[in-house]
Chain A
Amino acid sequence: MAGQLSIAKALNGALRKSLESDPKTVLMGEDIGKLGGVFRITDGLQKDFGDDRVIDTPLAESGIVGTAIGLALRGYRPVVEIQFDGFVYPAFDQIVSQLAKMHARALGHVKMPITVRIPYGGGIGAVEHHSESHEAYFAHTAGLRVVSPSNAHDAHWMLRQSIESDDPVVFLEPKRRYWDKGEVGEDPLLPLHAARIVRPGTDATLIAYGPMVKVCQEAAQAAEEDGRRLEVVDLRSLSPVDFATLEESVKRTGRGIVVHEAPVFLGLGAELAARLTERCFYHLEAPILRVGGYHAPYPPSRVEETYLPDLDRVLDAVDRALAF
């Protein structure tokens, strides 16, 4: 797997490996067969594994997740694709009320090894309902694991780890990064739920996941020119959260800034800020700040740059944190 791969190709390779290594793995979704999915993540897989393993489904999201639950009960390991973030809501009941709870309701007797892949987030100039960040809805639900990779290596390995997990995983793919390239190594390097310090620093910790990791790395790069050394942590897993890594970093830098695309209000950043405050209170030089979307519907694409956190908004928050 040497060489530079786009996130899209890395995901495709992960699905291919999973289909090869376990005959019980099946892919399901709209247009994932001949077309290879609207983002081509499943490109060529139906050709190689047959339409019995790579299943084009009716256009019915609740149906996709609901029947995947039945297949899992029968011993299959379904990987379902939701075409776009904004179309997962018809399946919301099946995900949060059925999928998330089945294991507990059966007192552990059944497992739900289902991966729900969702391309999420904005920044690609799409029309309505094609740019949402709904991670907080899912992370709020016990029984689900929620993860989001930010680079090709993680995209490949985190997807394989998700598919191997006996728990249901909501796998959020940062669609604006699909075409970003990176090295995909031979080993996962980290367990699925570990956070990773992608850039060490001393003055403040930027905490991000998925599409915002790159923005934070760029912000840290820019800040360095002003003599500020920012640490960047890629959360990778939104449930569970690797608080140990976050805590260690924030205690060291004394400042934390959480960056995500989703609205700030009741978003994941609220939870991270609250917990980090509880745990790092005496080490903090400033309140944990949040940078994210506004409490407004995702805007038309011509103004999405206003909505999405960018370099300037992140650096502005860094200024505020350092001014305390």
Chain B
Amino acid sequence: MTVKSTSRARKKAAPGVPDPARAGVGAEPELVQLLTPEGERVEHPEFPLTVTPEELRSLYRDLVLVRRFDAEATSLQRQGELGLWASLLGQEAAQVGSGRAMRAGDYAFPTYREHGVAWCRDVDPLNLLGMFRGVNNGGWDPNEKNFHLYTIVIGAQTLHATGYAMGIAKDGADDAVIAYFGDGASSQGDVNEAFTFASVYNSPVVFFCQNNQWAISEPTAVQTRIPLYRRASGFGFPGVRVDGNDVLAVLAVTRWALDHARTGQGPVLVEAFTYRMGAHTTSDDPTRYRQSEETESWKAKDPILRLKAHLEKEGLADEAFFAAVEAESETLGLRVREGVRSMPDPDPTLIFDHVYSEPHPLVDEERAEYEAYAASFEGGEHH
């Protein structure tokens, strides 16, 4: 009977419209959770976590500041200061939880949305805005904070992360790497190649998939017929699905995964089950492809409110604390706003800088041509 109804369902489904229920990707099975949406602390036998009240407050601060930074960037885009912005709204816990699980020697390879991870790595938020403002294509030294440049081509960075992890293993170091990517990226060849390399070389890399349910307009069901964390088993390493809106669960699971990786036990896939509350980027119009009820239902799982409820319930933070974080977020907002507005356009000769490490005659020649051309305007008639 099951078989029959399945096949009937299959026939009924219009071609090209995957059914999320059938794929089992919209359900929430085997979700590791340590903090309920109401802010109740729960235990998970495999992922215990001890956090001090101080740490809890610090996580809360991270979540609030990261959200504030993101909101500020969204506004700045609306005001024409940034060309584009990819908001992390709703994904703060997935990013802060995993970011805070990293140790100093660990290395993160982000997509274009990991502003919260950058925050945890102590990367100046203004660095992240250069690319979106159009003053550079990356623009920071990745080795300074062990946070690689943003990668726009979907999935490409998972291979860089894996190669870096292969290097760590060669060096005999006990560091680990996190490769961030989305549910859409899980379809890319590069991600699957990264799984293969990491698995056969037993590399210390944690594949951290933020399943925010959407790849621009495509639901996860267009990418997979099985829950994503289960992909790992086919490659021969563990996969865990964690409540991506629960910063404590993400912290515990990622810490475990990183330890697993750094102690020579090979890669782990963590699927942080979360939701992109905003548009894909500021160029996107989510009302064309998703229902507002869906977004509403996720609001109830908000990562910040959940931790706040917990702090309040347990009496771990008072009004003064919340007010102080609020004030700090104001200061951050102001710094970001002013920082972006005063970010100068680069000198046009930037084009010719760093094309190669070593001299390249064609670049030198074209730079000289450009400079002569630019100089021909100087000292001439100006209007």
> A-side interface residues toward B, CB under 8 Å?
26, 52, 57-58, 60, 62-63, 65-76, 90, 93-94, 97-98, 101-112, 142-143, 145, 165-167, 193, 239-243
Contact = CB atoms under 8 A, between A and B. Distances in A.
Given A62-B190, A104-B353, 12 more contacts: A63-B159, A66-B160, A66-B162, A67-B159, A69-B159, A70-B166, A71-B163, A76-B167, A166-B357, A167-B356, A167-B357, A167-B358
B375 interface: no
Nearest to A110: B142
Nearest to A239: B362
B189 interface: yes
Given A105-B139, A143-B356, A62 B362 contact: no
10 contacts: A62-B189, A65-B159, A66-B190, A69-B160, A70-B163, A98-B153, A107-B138, A108-B353, A109-B143, A165-B358
Given A67-B166, A68-B163, A76-B167, A111 B196 contact: no
Contacts of A63: 159, 162, 190, 193-194, 196-197
A105 B136 CA distance: 7
Given A52-B170, A62-B193, A145-B360, A103 B160 contact: no
A240 B364 CA distance: 11
Contacts of B200: 58
B131 to A, nearest CB: 9
A75 B190 CA distance: 22
B263 interface: no
A57 B200 CA distance: 9
B356 A105 contact: no
A58 B357 contact: no
B47 interface: no
Given A73-B142, A103-B357, A167-B356, A58 B193 contact: yes
Contacts of B144: 109
B11 interface: no
A67 B162 contact: yes
Contact of A105 (B137, B164, B360, B362): B137
Contacts of B358: 165-167
B165 interface: yes
B139 A57 contact: no
Given A98-B153, A167-B356, A60 B196 contact: yes
Contacts of B362: 239-241
Nearest to B158: A66
Nearest to A97: B153
A16 B139 CA distance: 37
A58 B363 contact: no
A62 B354 CA distance: 24
Nearest to A166: B357
Nearest to B189: A62
A66 B149 CA distance: 15
B241 interface: no
A74 B167 contact: yes
Contacts of A103: 354-357
Interface in B180-195: 189-190, 193-194
Nearest to A244: B361
A102 B153 CA distance: 13
Contacts of A97: 153, 156
B76 interface: no
A108 B139 CA distance: 9
B149 A70 contact: no
Contacts of A93: 153, 156, 190
Contacts of A239: 360, 362
A57 B197 contact: yes
Nearest to A109: B141
Contacts of A69: 159-160, 163
A308 B321 CA distance: 77
A268 to B, nearest CB: 13
Contacts of B353: 104, 107-108
A69 B193 CA distance: 14
A225 B200 CA distance: 60
Nearest to B156: A98
Contacts of B354: 103-104, 106-108
Contacts of A65: 159
Interface string B111-153: 0000000000000000000000000111111111000110101
A8 B372 CA distance: 46
A94 to B, nearest CB: 7
Contacts of B156: 66, 93-94, 97-98
B141 A107 contact: yes
B208 to A, nearest CB: 16
A90 B358 CA distance: 28
A110 B143 contact: yes
B55 interface: no
Nearest to A26: B170
B159 to A, nearest CB: 3
B361 A71 contact: no
Interface in B331-383: 353-358, 360-363
Given A68-B163, A71-B166, A106 B142 contact: yes
A26 to B, nearest CB: 8
B161 interface: yes
B197 A60 contact: yes
Contacts of B171: 74
A104 to B, nearest CB: 5
B32 to A, nearest CB: 28
Contacts of B356: 103, 143, 145, 167
Contact of B159 (A94, A109, A145): A94
Nearest to A165: B358
B200 to A, nearest CB: 6
A66 B193 contact: yes
Nearest to A52: B170
Contacts of A98: 151, 153, 156, 160
Nearest to B163: A70
Contact of B361 (A52, A70, A110, A243): A243
Contacts of A58: 193, 196-197, 200
